[in-house]
Amino acid sequence: MTTNLIVAEGKDDLAALREILKRCLGGAIRKEKGGGRFEPQYPPGNLPPHDRVVWSSGDVVAAETHLLAALGRDVLGKRVAEQVKTQRADAPPLNLVGISFDPNGWTSEQCVAWAEGELRKQGLVLTSAAEGFAVAPPCGIAIVLLPWDLGTSFDELDAKLRNLERVALEILRQTDPAEAQLVDQFLAVLREKKKPISWKTAFRLWAAFRYADRDPGSGAMDQVFGQDKCVHAALDAVLKDTPFLRRLALFAGTSVSATPAKA
């Protein structure tokens, strides 16, 4: 069985990743615990959100990918290091570790430089740097970057808007163009008024109106990706052939070498 882990920037990222792994890559959510399998190592007093997506044939699990929310970009490198350095001897070894984050205004090269620097701060010596890193022995674990970026679909956007919310908005354009236009207009008004509000916060405010009859405690991305049936139908069309989905597919039951191919 192949065991993978993705450490996400926050709960919104975790919710979106969970649904994409399910709906685009054929996984299934499993909540139950089992003896001997991998369990993320949590810092004392901190229990961040955690999910597990599995790929199986009958009762036999071929692969599983765990999702862990770091609850902050500034601790992503630390959370990854905790998992890589503290694997239990009786647990399945990790094959891949992914880092999910908003690239915002960064180029691909800047994303690589940032991740490499954060991991080196935690004492992880890396043997290569491209779309993925190989952690030096004895771990031998490949670390793959999963920035929220749809590639050419984002080319006409301001670079700083390359984030998970823009991915969600691009999906809405496929399902409800008028609603997507409303989001754009809402954000434009906020910018005109010079309101000190982030793009993420504005998106959550809009989601509170659109999904007023849904579970408010689940968060905007869980509402968009998990509860909106129209979005489910559009996920494949929007994400197909994007660099993001090609990298994410490595975690869908695919065993790869310690140096992932460039997506």
> Crossing angle for the helix pair 108-121 and 76-85, nearest 10 degrees?
60
Does 113 lie in the same domain as 47? yes
Does 136 lie in the same domain as 160? no
Q: Name which of 199, 198, 218 is nearest 208 in CA terms.
A: 218
Does 114 lie in the same domain as 97? yes
Does 129 lie in the same domain as 206? no
**pLDDT tens digits, 202-253:** 778 878 888 887 776 678 888 888 888 888 888 888 888 888 999 999 998 6
Burial class (CB in 10 A: 0-12, 13-18, 19+), 184: exposed
The pLDDT of residue 192: 82
**pLDDT tens digits, 73-101:** 999 999 998 888 876 666 777 889 999 99
Does 159 lie in the same domain as 87? no
The whole model's pTM is what?
0.86
Q: What is the mean predicted confidence (pLDDT) over 29-36?
A: 57
Q: Is residue 258 part of a domain?
A: no
User: Is 257 a residue whose pLDDT tops 50?
Assistant: no
Does 67 lie in the same domain as 36? yes
pLDDT band at residue 261 using 50, 70 and 90 as cut-offs: very low
Task: Point out which residues pair with 64 in neighbouring strands.
Answer: 3, 54
Does 80 lie in the same domain as 162? no
Question: Is beta strand 28-29 parallel, antiparallel or unpaired with respect to 50-57?
Answer: antiparallel
Does 144 lie in the same domain as 30? yes
Q: How many domains does the chain have?
A: 2
CATH of the domain at 144: 3.40.50.10620
Structural domain containing residue 204:
154-239
